[in-house]
């Protein structure tokens, strides 16, 4: 581990909560693709599979910020445990209905319930922000580490989920994802020493964190970015199946995540100058351009190389996004603000996976790669149009007036 990473883990409890967050985030990479694989195995219908995956993502998009808002007010332990139990119960219902071939509407009902899954990445990053508030260099490295963890989840998760569902039984991938979620959430919430303390009611900012113009730009851009991810997942599974190697889709998607993982690891040790907003804009544009080579994919090896290159832009952009969220959202709404970016991604994944599923059914897998290309172009357009809102931090941002008002309550703030 390079020395900047080793340094951020000197704070007590950081290794444990990061490890718990890793387990709790595994469903992020396993559940959607696991449902796609399960339903396509049981029914052969990618349209239905994509629609269910989209429903999961949309439900999480609607409920995620509400869960995080309650976490900001009442604490992680009090909120995360009950909502997690609701989510895994709904996942169990979804698997039973799929296995027994019950009416399609029952699948969608339980998919909505499964959307109660909390945004574990936001919970872990909120703990890092509490520990290293005001220490920009350490917080940059911590956020980079968590982006690496995200990508490791996306390297391992699809391989495990698709592999189990194709080699064992169709429901195996989503089932294991639910077990990971329960384990990660209960382990994380048992660590009280590093849990951010909910502040007194008089310090809470009225309204939603989404009122911030800068956060609005990030969220809308991430809707288009999420469409890239959702479409790539669905189309890649179909592309591999058309070539007689469906299980290889997990390896190809792992290569996509590996590119992001490596880029994030390097990005975390760099001491970059300049405006984060400029780096973010360049990152979004790079993700958009990286979708162009996918239109030329004719084989799995070529696709793997193209996706590896595309992945190089992901983690640095995500790290910069978290830094921008902290600049544009009050401290009392930090978890909610981070979750809104995840919500934007979730909405995009829903739209992208659904559109890609229908495109594959109508025109084949290769044509399906048009969906992430269009989504990338939209992301770049929104990023350009909203760039000015991100150039300067909000006056009430994460280290601005809000923190100054709280010094009497929490003396260790910088």
Instruction: List, run by run, the mean pLDDT of 10-residue segments along the chain (414 residues).
Output: 75 90 86 81 77 80 81 85 91 88 86 84 85 76 82 76 81 88 93 79 58 85 90 87 80 85 80 79 93 88 92 87 79 75 78 84 85 94 88 52 33 28
Kindly state the greatest CA–CA separation across the chain: 64
In order, the DSSP letters of 195-241 are: SPPPPPGGGSPSS-GGG-HHHHHHHHHHHHHHHHHHHHHHHHHHHHH
Report the SS3 class of residue 160. helix
pLDDT digits (tens, 9 = 90+) for 31-55: 877 888 888 788 777 778 878 877 8
CB of 355 within 8 A of CB of 231?
A: yes
Helices (DSSP H) in 243-333: which residue ranges? 248-269, 276-289, 300-311, 314-328
Q: How far apart are CA 236 and CA 234, in angstroms?
A: 6
Which residue in this structure is represented by tokens 């340094």?
7
In order, the DSSP letters of 292-312 are: GGGGG--SHHHHHHHHHHHHT
Q: Does domain 17-193+208-405 have CATH number 1.20.1250.20?
A: yes
pLDDT, residue 196, reads 82
| Residue 285 CA, distance from chain mean position | 19
Q: How far apart are CA 73 and CA 75, in angstroms?
A: 6
pLDDT, residue 213, reads 81
pLDDT, residue 200, reads 59
Which residue in this structure is represented by tokens 């490791």?
152
Number of helices (H), then strands (E), in the chain: 17, 0
Spatial CA neighbour of 94 closest among 203, 8, 181, 178: 178
DSSP 395: T
pLDDT, residue 410, reads 34
Which residue in this structure is represented by tokens 């992901």?
314
| Range list of β-strands (E), 24-152 | none
Element (H, E) at 28: helix 14-43
Q: How far apart are CA 207 and CA 215, in angstroms?
A: 14
114: exposed, middle or buried (C-beta count within 10 Å: 0-12, 13-18, 19+)?
A: buried
pLDDT, residue 402, reads 38
Q: How far apart are CA 111 and CA 106, in angstroms?
A: 8
pLDDT, residue 40, reads 78
Q: Is 13 left (phi over 0), alpha (psi -120 to 50) or beta?
A: left
Spatial CA neighbour of 384 closest among 280, 283, 281, 274: 281
Spatial CA neighbour of 94 closest among 34, 147, 136, 149: 34
Where are the chain's structural domains? Answer: 17-193+208-405
Spatial CA neighbour of 370 closest among 381, 380, 358, 382: 358
Q: Give me the phi and psi of 103, to 5 degrees please.
A: -55, 150
pLDDT, residue 63, reads 83
Q: Which residues contact 132 (CB under 8 A, 6 or more apart)?
A: 8, 11, 138, 139, 142
């Amino acid at each position: 581990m390079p020395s900047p990473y080793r340094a951020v883990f000197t704070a007590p409890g950081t290794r444990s909560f990061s490890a718990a967050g890793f387990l709790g985030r595994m469903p992020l990479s396993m559940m959607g693709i696991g449902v796609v694989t399960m339903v396509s195995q049981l029914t052969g219908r990618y349209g239905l599979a994509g629609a269910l995956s989209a429903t999961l993502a949309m439900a999480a998009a609607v409920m995620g910020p509400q869960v995080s808002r309650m976490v900001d007010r009442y604490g992680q332990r009090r909120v995360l445990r009950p909502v997690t139990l609701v989510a895994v119960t709904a996942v169990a219902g979804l698997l039973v209905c799929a296995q027994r071939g019950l009416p399609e509407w029952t699948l969608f009902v339980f998919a909505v319930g499964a959307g109660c899954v909390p945004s574990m990445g936001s919970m872990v990053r909120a703990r890092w922000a509490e520990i290293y508030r005001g220490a920009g260099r350490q917080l940059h490295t911590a956020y980079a580490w968590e982006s690496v963890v995200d990508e490791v989840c996306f390297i391992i998760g699809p391989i495990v989920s698709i592999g189990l569902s194709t080699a064992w039984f169709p429901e195996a991938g989503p089932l294991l994802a639910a077990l990971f979620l329960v384990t990660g959430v209960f382990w994380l919430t048992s660590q009280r020493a590093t849990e951010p303390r909910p502040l007194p009611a008089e310090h809470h900012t009225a309204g939603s964190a989404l009122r911030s113009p800068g956060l609005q730009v990030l969220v809308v851009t991430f809707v288009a970015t999420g469409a890239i991810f959702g479409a790539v997942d669905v189309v890649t599974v179909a592309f591999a199946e058309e070539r007689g190697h469906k299980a290889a889709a997990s390896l190809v998607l792992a290569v996509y995540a590996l590119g992001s993982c490596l880029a994030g690891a390097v990005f975390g040790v760099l001491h970059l100058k300049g405006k984060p907003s400029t780096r973010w804009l360049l990152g979004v544009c790079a993700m958009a351009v990286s979708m162009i080579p996918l239109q030329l994919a004719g084989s799995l090896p070529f696709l793997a190389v193209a996706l590896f290159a595309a992945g190089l832009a992901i983690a640095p952009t995500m790290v910069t996004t978290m830094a921008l969220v902290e600049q544009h959202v009050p401290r009392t709404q930090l978890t909610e603000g981070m979750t809104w970016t995840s919500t934007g991604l979730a909405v995009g994944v829903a739209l992208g996976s659904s559109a890609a599923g229908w495109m594959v059914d109508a025109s084949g897998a290769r044509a399906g790669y048009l969906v992430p290309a269009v989504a990338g172009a939209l992301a770049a357009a929104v990023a350009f149009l909203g760039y000015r809102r991100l150039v300067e931090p909000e006056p009430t941002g994460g280290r601005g007036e809000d923190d100054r008002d709280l010094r009497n309550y929490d003396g260790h703030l910088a």
